[in-house]
C-alpha cells in the first residue's frame, strides 16, 4: 500500500491545557526559497517567561530542519523587541544584518536579521 507523505506544515498552533495561546510559523523572506524564516506569537503576557516560547520555537525549528532540510533558518525582528532578541540568541541564532531604521515612540531602532544552522541549534 502506497501512502502520500504528510504535507510539511507552514505553521502550528501552541496550546496549553487545551487552550490556544499562540502559534509558530514559517515564511520566505522576500519570497526567496533560500531564506526560510520563522516567527512565534504568544499574545497573552500571562504565558510569557514560563519557557513555553523557547520550547515551542526550538521544536518548530527542529521540525523545519528535519522536514525542509535548509542550510539555514532565519528570523527577523526590530531592535526594540528584546524578548525576541533574547529568545533567538538563547537558541543559537546569530545576528547577521542590521538594516532599515524604524522609529517607534520617538526612538529609532534597526530591523534585525538572525540566522541559525542545524549544527548550532541549542535544543
Domains recognised in the chain with CATH numbers: 11-120 (3.40.630.30)
pTM comes to: 0.85
Residues contacting 38, CB < 8 A, separation 6+: 24, 25, 26, 57, 60, 61, 64, 73, 74, 75
Phi and psi, residue 53, nearest 5°: -60, -45
Q: Which residue do the cell numbers 510559523 mark?
A: 25
pLDDT (tens digit, 9 = 90+) per residue, 36-69? 999 999 988 899 999 999 999 999 999 999 999 9
pLDDT (tens digit, 9 = 90+) per residue, 1-22? 555 556 778 899 999 999 999 9
Amino acid at each position: 500500500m502506497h501512502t502520500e507523505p504528510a504535507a510539511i506544515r507552514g505553521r502550528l498552533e501552541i496550546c496549553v491545557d487545551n487552550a490556544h495561546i499562540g502559534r509558530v510559523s514559517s515564511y520566505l523572506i522576500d519570497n526567496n526559497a533560500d531564506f526560510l524564516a520563522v516567527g512565534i506569537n504568544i499574545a497573552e503576557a500571562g504565558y510569557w517567561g514560563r519557557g513555553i516560547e523557547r520550547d515551542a520555537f526550538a521544536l518548530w525549528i527542529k521540525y523545519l530542519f528535519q522536514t525542509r532540510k535548509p542550510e539555514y533558518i532565519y528570523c527577523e525582528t526590530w531592535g526594540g523587541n528584546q524578548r525576541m532578541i533574547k529568545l533567538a540568541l538563547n537558541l543559537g541564532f546569530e545576528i547577521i544584518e542590521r538594516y532599515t531604521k524604524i522609529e517607534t515612540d520617538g526612538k529609532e531602532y534597526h530591523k534585525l536579521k538572525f540566522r541559525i544552522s542545524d549544527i548550532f541549534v541549542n535544543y
